[in-house]
Chain A
Amino acid sequence: MIMVQIVILMTSAALIVIGLYSAIFIDNIIKKIIGISFIEEGVNLFIVTLGYKAGGVVPILMPGMDPAWFAANAAAPLPFGLVLTSIVIGASTLAVMLALVMVLYRRYHTLSTKVMLADTSKREEYDE
């Protein structure tokens, strides 16, 4: 494994760990969601790294290229395809989460998950 890959893998691991910490331990829902995005991007970075090839070419077979040379030098295309889809899904879930947060912020006027996402049975007692 070459140095670039090791550095990128360590970056992705750092993103995932920071994201997990933020998503689990921080009370503010927006910071939680930023943490979740960190996890997603860390995983995407990890998968992209799998397709990296030092000195490789873009995995598109152009006219005139020798297929054998192309097969030996092209970067693996599958991880890129997967990550592209994963980014789209991540954006969709992010949008839905933020939309829900907007609705709940208007209701509670706070971003604290302790208030916003408190156990519903306790909330009913609180409301009473």
Chain B
Amino acid sequence: MNELIPLMVIVPLIAALLISTISRFNTVTKVFTFVVALCLPLIPILSNYGLHYFGGYEPMLDTVSGVIYHPAITYSFTFLQQIFIGAVGLLTFLVVFIYLTKYKKVSGPYLFLLFLGTAAVTAMMLTDDIFHMFVFFEILALAQVGIVAASSIDYSYEMALKYMVLGSIGSPIMLLGIGFLLALTGSVNVTDIAVAVHNGLVDVTSPVFLLSLALIFFGWLYASGLPPFHTIKSGIYSKAEPHGAALLQSFTVISMISIVMIMFRIYASLPIFEVLIVFFSILAMILGVSLALTQTDFRRMIGFLAVGELGFIGLGIGLGTNFSITAGLFQALNEIIITALLFIGFGAIVNATNEVDTRKLGGLLAYHPKVAIMLLIAGLAMAGVPPLSGFQSKLMLVQASLSCGFPEISILAIMVSIATFVVFVKTYYTMFLKPKPNDLNLEGKEVPKAMIFAMAVLLIIVVLLGIFPDMATGGISNFVGGIL
């Protein structure tokens, strides 16, 4: 059913608008939101792979140049889109479920922002049009800022404005890069641009083409939260509600891979492109884990760890082989699931203790054993401990860098994984195993069941992907083979 492809964007978009309209009817809004959120992971599962041409405008032949071009926006739906849109749909459902059970009176604008963000990343993942991607990239930035500002955490407005200001500088710079590509090729369709580049219609050594790479790359760094934007990215995670942060990090990962795959198709012929990606990825890995070590606010700590994990994704894509890109994309999928699990788990602790400073916590294992065990497994998965999903993707990345002739990168990846393990164990010990401080009152404070349910669902996926990685890697590898 190819008709379902545009519905993946339209459903959350229309739902967002409707929810903000009907939000004064609390029960109706809750039921409607739940039903729509449940549909989000189902639509990509039910849809067939294929292309959708908006307005029915199929590719046409330019009789003058003899080149086939795309006159309208095209959505491309393959296994890669299915797995990532399915993952973000599932996450949206779980986050909405947590939100609906946590609050008696729901906020229409907040739910609007959650669905708007989901629609934006879905469109970014599907689109074959670089300007369309930019439009939803901007919409996503607005949704992210809204989600942060809507939280009741101190200084969330400040962080939201900071993110918005940086984004408003990064976005036009990216648009300028798209403008240069338009000037060179006369198109904003990625397939058309890639064909023009590979057929030699564009001089890849021209300063304009290189400048377009630099400008779009800058926008990608902002979207991904790679250095120099790592601090602001981890900052917005720490200023959002924990379940909101779980969704925000998935938005980051998906916008990262959707933009980088577009760039890969256009600029893969430039050796500098892969060098740039690997350089910034390694920087993110080192900075992410180093800064995580120094944090006492555990939300900020996960934020920096998430940035470090983004480096692993970039590393895989930057190495540029079929196996390494597959590993990078598999790592992206794992990062979405594992980091969401960590944010929700630590959010459960915030819910039970009203405390985010690890120095003021302790002895939580006795009071919240289910959360403690699930968080332990999630942390081990992030650090790359077998047989969990994080181990499989990191093992693939180490193998990929070895096979590409970069043993030093393999060693670095292993060292960063060990450092991640140290950061997590240190925090885990402080919060769960250390004796409880006398002034910490934990009696009668329960963790919401919805959070436990969400964590359990995500944990099952982490274990399943760890034991059967081929469920994801086989399809991803076929997709990557098609691109290469």
Chain A residues within 8 Å of B, Cβ to Cβ: 16, 20, 23-24, 29, 32-33, 36, 39-40, 42-43, 46-47, 50, 76, 78-79, 82, 85-86, 89-90, 92-93, 96-97, 100-101, 103-104, 107, 116-117, 120, 123-124
**In the complex, what distance in Å separates the CA atom of A82 from the CA atom of B169?**
18
Asked if A36 and B161 sit within 8 Å, CB to CB, the answer is: no
**Can you name the residue of chain A whose Cβ is closest to the Cβ of B135?**
A85
Asked if A82 and B165 sit within 8 Å, CB to CB, the answer is: no
Contacts of B135 in A (CB 8 A): 85, 89
The tally of CB-CB contacts under 8 A between chains A and B is: 98
Given contacts A16-B176, A120-B159, contact A50 B182 (CB under 8 A): yes
Asked if B161 and A43 sit within 8 Å, CB to CB, the answer is: no
Give the total of B residues in contact with A, Cβ under 8 Å.
Answer: 35
Contacts of B235 in A (CB 8 A): 120
Sample of 24 A–B contacts (CB below 8 Å): A20-B169, A23-B168, A32-B165, A36-B165, A36-B169, A39-B168, A39-B169, A43-B173, A43-B176, A43-B179, A47-B179, A50-B179, A78-B188, A79-B179, A82-B131, A85-B131, A92-B142, A93-B138, A96-B142, A96-B164, A100-B145, A100-B157, A100-B160, A120-B239
Taking the nearest CB of chain A, how far is it from the CB of B131, in angstroms? Answer: 5
Given contacts A50-B183, A117-B158, A120-B158, contact A100 B149 (CB under 8 A): yes
Contacts of A39 in B (CB 8 A): 168-169, 172-173
Interface SS, B side: helix
**In the complex, what distance in Å separates the CA atom of A22 from the CA atom of B239?**
27
Contacts of B171 in A (CB 8 A): 89, 93
Chain B residues within 8 Å of A, Cβ to Cβ: 131, 135, 138-139, 141-142, 145-146, 149, 154-155, 157-162, 164-165, 167-169, 171-173, 175-176, 179, 182-183, 186-188, 235, 239
Taking the nearest CB of chain B, how far is it from the CB of A45, in angstroms? Answer: 10
Asked if A43 and B172 sit within 8 Å, CB to CB, the answer is: yes
**In the complex, what distance in Å separates the CA atom of A85 from the CA atom of B142?**
15
Q: Which of B157, B165, B182, B187 has the most CB of A within 10 A?
A: B165
Asked if B168 and A116 sit within 8 Å, CB to CB, the answer is: no
